[in-house]
């Protein structure tokens, strides 16, 4: 399965691997030698006279590395793209470069070392702001509107209903009569409704809602006399009049 992919993989030769080991070893010994000589020169030869200035300058240099990392990342991407580095799709690498320069300048000015400072000023500050917003929403919306306001409405309705629920039989009878009147009015009041559908032959089928003793009249002109009494389902061809209606 991976035979074709394995053909494209080229492993370094043995002498190349050994040379890389020597390079790593030489680099490690050079770092040790430079550090040892710097410590000897600073603390033995100079008796730590310039330690304060050294620490100050080293802190400034270390502070700038927070932005240098972004500059290097953006620069590598732009370098690999070549001429396309100035195209619109390279906005993010350029943002890395410019933002890294601004970040390095700010960190050197504030003498803030490491990515912890950047993390505290970006992620931590953003999360704190989000937490404060969530707390405000919880206090203003959840606690006040959903909890307190709804309980206030329930308490107000309870106060109004207690006026009716007073134990007097005459009041109960009056409420029953009022309820029967509302239910009766709902059934007596017509609820006429209709839907219009076009047939393949060009007719328009008007279907009205059925109901107890419902009878409909067709009005070609809404302001004129009725044309005929129509059943719940009637078929009419379109007329030249733009105002037609059907009344129960």
Q: How confident is the model at residue 9 (pLDDT cuts 50, 70, 90)?
A: low
The band of 52, judged by pLDDT with boundaries at 50, 70 and 90, is: confident
Give the pLDDT of residue 96: 84
- Tell me the pLDDT tens digit for each residue of 151-187: 899 999 888 888 777 778 888 888 899 999 999 988 8
CA-wise closest residue to 98 among 123, 119, 70: 70
CA distance 188 to 71: 81
Contacts made by residues 103-110, CB under 8 angstroms, sequence distance 24+: 103/66, 103/67, 103/70, 104/63, 104/64, 104/65, 104/66, 104/67, 104/68, 104/71, 105/64, 105/67, 106/67, 107/63, 107/64, 107/66, 107/67, 108/60, 108/63, 108/64, 110/63
Tell me what pLDDT residue 177 has. 93
Residue 234: band (very low, low, confident or very high) from pLDDT cuts 50, 70, 90: very low
| pTM reported for the whole predicted model | 0.32
- Residue-level pLDDT at 182: 93
Whether residue 235 has pLDDT greater than 60 = no
pLDDT of 193-209, one tens digit each?
778 888 888 787 877 77
């Amino acid at each position: 399965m991976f035979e074709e992919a394995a053909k494209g993989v080229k492993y370094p030769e043995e002498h190349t691997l050994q040379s890389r080991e020597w390079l790593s070893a030489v680099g490690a010994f050079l770092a040790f030698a430079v550090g040892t000589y710097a410590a000897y020169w600073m603390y033995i030869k100079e008796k730590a006279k310039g330690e304060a200035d050294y620490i100050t300058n080293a802190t400034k240099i270390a502070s700038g590395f927070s932005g240098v990392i972004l500059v290097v990342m953006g620069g590598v991407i732009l370098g690999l793209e070549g001429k396309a580095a100035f195209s619109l799709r390279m906005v993010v690498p350029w943002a890395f470069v410019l933002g890294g320069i601004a970040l390095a300048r700010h960190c050197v000015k504030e003498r803030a070392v490491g990515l912890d400072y950047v993390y505290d000023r970006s992620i931590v500050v953003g999360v704190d702001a989000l937490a404060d917003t969530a707390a405000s929403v919880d206090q203003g919306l959840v606690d006040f509107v959903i909890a307190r306001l709804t309980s206030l409405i329930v308490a107000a309705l309870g106060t109004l209903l207690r006026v009716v629920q007073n134990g007097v039989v005459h009041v109960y009878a009056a409420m029953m009569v009022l309820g029967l009147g509302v239910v009766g009015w709902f059934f007596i009041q017509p609820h006429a409704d209709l839907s219009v559908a076009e047939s393949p032959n060009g007719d328009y089928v008007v279907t009205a809602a059925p109901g107890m003793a419902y009878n409909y009249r067709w009005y070609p002109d809404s302001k004129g006399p009725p044309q005929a009494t129509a059943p719940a389902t009637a078929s009419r061809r379109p007329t030249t009049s733009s105002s037609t209606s059907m009344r129960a």
